[in-house]
Amino acid sequence: MSWVHRLIGGGRRRLAVSATAAGLALVGSAALVFGITAQHHAPTPPASAALPTTRPASGSADAPSSTTASTGPVLGASVPTVLDIPALGVHHDLITLGHKTDGTVEVPPLSDVAVPGWDRFSPTPGELGPAVILGHVDAATQGRGVFYSLGALRPGDTVSITRTDHSVAVFRVDGVDEYSKDTFPTLTVYGNTPDPQLRLITCGGPYDPETHNYLSNIVAFATLVDSHPAT
């Protein structure tokens, strides 16, 4: 399986997925993982870390449109260059990912599973909407990937992203969830948001050795809370 992003209204800042592709808008076995023997030991987020159910799902009928004025900070467009997640010990340059000819999103190269990538068809981190960053969980030849411990993030943890305009966008984690790939909540993850948000995504959950595929995705949701000049 693979991700399928669709733009609506011709604007790249708003993400939507066609009805036929909704069930495919997630990370598959060939995308973010080559399984290893101990892959099922990657941290799994507990129910206490889940995104609050009182928060409307992005893109739902009850969620504000991304055209609604944000009440918090909003930054201009600027390509992200470095990802920092202090709670996980992650500090790494970001690469920029595009889309394949079939419309599915590219993923970071398996030649180095320590490399995270930003989907350039999502907003830049700090802009209005959900910026999307992908990372591998592991690889057979390299062991743990950059997002191996993504499920260990907790609400209140921070994620900082340095941008080419020499600013740093600071996000606070709202929740971390595990979703079965069979019931992936496309709108919750990729739908429009009323403020600048961030999605960190990898594979997770049980591993099927016959198909060489994780059965779930781990998604961390975060909201922009601050910005400051890069030092």
Burial 18-33 (b: 16+ CB within 10 A, else e): eeebbebbbbbbebbb
The model carries a pTM of: 0.82
Angle at 23 (CA atoms; ends 60, 96), nearest 5 degrees: 85
C-alpha distances (whole Å) from 217 to each of 34, 44, 72, 176 are 14, 10, 29, 11
pLDDT of 13 higher than 70: no
Residue 32: what pLDDT? Answer: 57
Reported as a single tens digit per residue, the pLDDT across 99-134 is: 888 877 788 988 899 999 999 999 999 999 999 999
Mean pLDDT across the chain: 80
Reported as a single tens digit per residue, the pLDDT across 138-197 is: 887 888 999 999 999 999 999 999 999 999 999 999 999 999 999 999 999 999 999 999
pLDDT of 46 higher than 80: yes
